[in-house]
A and B are shown apart, each in its own frame.
Chain A
Amino acid sequence: MAVHTSQSVAKAAGDDVARGRSRGTGNPPPPSRLRRALSVHWYAWTMVAPVVLVIGVIIGYPLVRGIWLSLTDANERNVARSIGVNEMPATYEFVGVDNYVDALTGTQFLGTLGWTLVWTVSCVAITFSLGMGLANMLNRRFAGRSAYRMALILPWAIPGFVSVFAWRFLYNEDRGLLNKILGGAGIDGIPWLNDPTWAKFSVIAVNVWLGIPFMMVALLGGLQSIPAEQYEAAEMDGATAWQRFRHITLPGLRPVSTTVILLSTIWTFNMFPVIFLLTRGGPGEATQILVTQAYKFSFEISPRDFAQSSTWGVLILVLLMLFAVVYRRVLRTQGDNW
């Protein structure tokens, strides 16, 4: 992201360190580049060392291992494991990019990717529009504003898995409240989670319900940073409400909305708990997104297919990184210094 923002001052801080050091050491012979860099930057490097170490050991190493597994045929039966006191050595073999070829030429990965994209785009689009609408409403002055705000933020305050179970309770086909209400109105119950189409609708609805508070609060913050003078000036010039929204609100919200859209796209793409706890990817594989399917390969089927799971995991990561890079590039060509 905007790595440049802090440079001017940071440079000054860095220089201070440099001067302090060189004054202390007198007039040494010109040191090697590495040594000079060390003497200038050793504070910064020492301070970041713990995080670099942690990332290297518990993220970097597993990541490398995961990429390696995706190039093998590892599964539950051939990885190293201990049964009682017996250590079984690993017997899986390197298979090159076979897993990737299988994934990208087969129908399962592409099918799941298709639904994952539909899920992500519709969740983000609906959440963003509704969040924007609510933020605009809450940005006005009227009685009871903070009460509404509190109520609307509530879904964010509840741990996600609790909310998802609450919705499972409401969605229950035979006894859930939603179908009872429908029954009261003389309408047949809807198989919310048991019919492929309705299940897709249901998981999106829950994710939107979960996601709106964050979106709304972030956009509300953005709205409050738009100077009121701009609206006054526009009104003097006779701009309609829609014109004010289009030409002041939307551009004013740009920095916030680009960030929240990027974040919520990534979060939704990887939204494990909603799908996993609501439908387990079912009925059939109708609501399975890439992340839950990858999880299924290694933890729900037998024998556990570690290689395929890792392959999907790497592909997900590559897709997200591509998305982030492209998104950033598009913004930059549109003149955003982001």
Chain B
Amino acid sequence: MTTITEPSGRHAVRKPRRRGDRSPLASTGLHLTLIIASVIAVFPVLWVLLTSLKPAKFATTTDFFRETTFVNYTNLIKDTEFLSWFGNSVIIAGLSTVIGVFVSATTGYAVSRFRFPGKRGLMWTLLITQMFPVAVLIVPIYNIMSNIGLLNQPAGLVITYLTISVPFCAWMMKGFFDTIPREIDESGQVDGLTPFGTFWRLILPLAKPGLAVTAFYSFITAWGEVAYASAFMVGDENLTLAGGLQKFVNQYGAQWGPMTAASVLIAIPAALVFLFAQRHLVTGMSAGAVKG
């Protein structure tokens, strides 16, 4: 699986020549299929971007450009709670990520390196919690949050998101620790480090890229979470982005202007970081998933 990070040049050299020798017809077919697929993949996103630059009254026209303007953006920021939603999302997703990574780092290392009674059970628990539907926990967590007064509070949502991020981070970090050679642990022990010292001084610095990817992925998971956010947060200024965007489009009508502008502001930073990190991301996820 790690080959995906290799420079493709190395493959290119080893690849048999036949791969370049497609007939013109096959070549055209290949490009045509990929162009159609790419258009389908990109178009909805592009269309939202273009719409956000049109004045609201032209939002549903089919013209690609029509009186290009940033009025949707200025209105969004001036007239709505968009900035509070953005801030709420940043705080909630950020905190749950940091706490999640912090809490689960040692566990990822322990299940990667040690054999101990309960390890099998723990691994199974981590795996099974990944398939917990939101439906199993949402009612009890809602009731608990309501009892301790954390409903509609960012702290409540942070705690709730830990149920997602902690098992996920531990699972994914195990995959990253597995890729670090065990000789390093052994050398640490020769030098008289305790297992924890080995982890802290030698392994953790090496695992930084893995930690970053895990953190990033749990951040965007929390960033895009809908069910808990919709159920737990009410009132205009307490919403997260997922809840806020629903304000613009409901069964009574749609304000496409602010909706598209907000979509762009939410999507572009996430997309840029994602495209930057995705190679490592896939390696990490599949390492965790395939090697178990």
List residues of A whose CB falls within 8 A of some B CB. 1-3, 5-7, 9-11, 13-14, 16-17, 37, 40-41, 43-48, 50-52, 54-55, 58-59, 61-63, 65-66, 69, 79-81, 134, 137-138, 140-142, 144, 148, 150-163, 165-170, 172, 175-177, 180-181, 184, 209, 212-213, 217-218, 220-222, 224-225, 228, 231-232, 235, 255-256, 259-260, 263, 266, 269-270, 272-273, 276-277, 280, 290-291, 294-295, 298-299, 306, 309-310, 312-314, 316-317, 320-321, 324, 338
B292: chain A residues at CB < 8 Å are: 1-3, 5, 338
Q: Tell me the minimal C-beta distance from B242 to chain A in angstroms.
A: 5
A181-B63 Cα distance, complex, nearest whole Å: 11
Interface positions, chain B 125-154, Cβ under 8 Å from A, are 125-144, 146-147
Q: Are B41 and A298 in contact (CB under 8 A)?
A: no
A306: chain B residues at CB < 8 Å are: 139, 143
A180-B40 Cα distance, complex, nearest whole Å: 17
A177-B113 Cα distance, complex, nearest whole Å: 54
A-contacting 9-mer, from B66-74, B80-88, B221-229: B221-229
Contacts A141-B19, A154-B45, A181-B62 given: A3-B119 contact, CB under 8 Å? yes
A119-B260 Cα distance, complex, nearest whole Å: 28
A80-B140 Cα distance, complex, nearest whole Å: 12
A67-B137 Cα distance, complex, nearest whole Å: 10
Q: Tell me the minimal C-beta distance from B168 to chain A in angstroms.
A: 11
Q: Are A14 and B114 in contact (CB under 8 A)?
A: yes
Q: Are B4 and A224 in contact (CB under 8 A)?
A: yes
A222-B1 Cα distance, complex, nearest whole Å: 6
One digit per residue, 1 when the CB lies within 8 angstroms of any chain A CB and 0 when it does not, for chain B 34-67 equals: 1001101110110110010000000010100000
Q: Tell me the minimal C-beta distance from B45 to chain A in angstroms.
A: 6
Contacts A58-B163, A159-B224, A163-B44 given: A44-B116 contact, CB under 8 Å? yes
Q: Considering the complex, give the chain A residue whose CB is closest to the CB of B279.
A: A217
Q: How many residues in B have their beta carbons less than 8 Å from beta carbons of A?
A: 119
Q: Tell me the minimal C-beta distance from B285 to chain A in angstroms.
A: 8
Q: Are A294 and B135 in contact (CB under 8 A)?
A: yes
Q: Are A141 and B260 in contact (CB under 8 A)?
A: no
B118: chain A residues at CB < 8 Å are: 45, 48
Q: Are B109 and A47 in contact (CB under 8 A)?
A: yes
List residues of B whose CB falls within 8 A of some A CB. 1, 3-4, 6, 11-12, 14-16, 18-20, 22, 27, 30-31, 33-34, 37-38, 40-42, 44-45, 47-48, 51, 60, 62, 103-104, 106-107, 109-120, 122-123, 125-144, 146-147, 159-160, 162-163, 166-167, 170, 178, 182, 185, 189, 194-196, 199, 220, 223-224, 226-227, 230-231, 241-242, 245-246, 248-249, 251, 254, 256, 259-260, 263, 266-267, 270-271, 274-275, 278, 282-283, 285-286, 289-292
Contact with B135, one of A9, A50, A313 (Cβ below 8 angstroms): A313
Q: Are B289 and A263 in contact (CB under 8 A)?
A: yes
Q: Considering the complex, give the chain A residue whose CB is closest to the CB of B102.
A: A50
Could you pull out 16 A-B pairs where Cβ atoms are within 8 angstroms? Answer: A2-B291, A13-B114, A13-B115, A43-B195, A52-B107, A65-B144, A141-B12, A141-B15, A142-B22, A142-B31, A177-B62, A218-B285, A221-B282, A294-B135, A299-B231, A321-B131
Most buried by B among A7, A137, A213: A137
Q: Tell me the minimal C-beta distance from A119 to chain B in angstroms.
A: 14
Contact with B113, one of A13, A41, A167, A291 (Cβ below 8 angstroms): A13
A45-B283 Cα distance, complex, nearest whole Å: 28
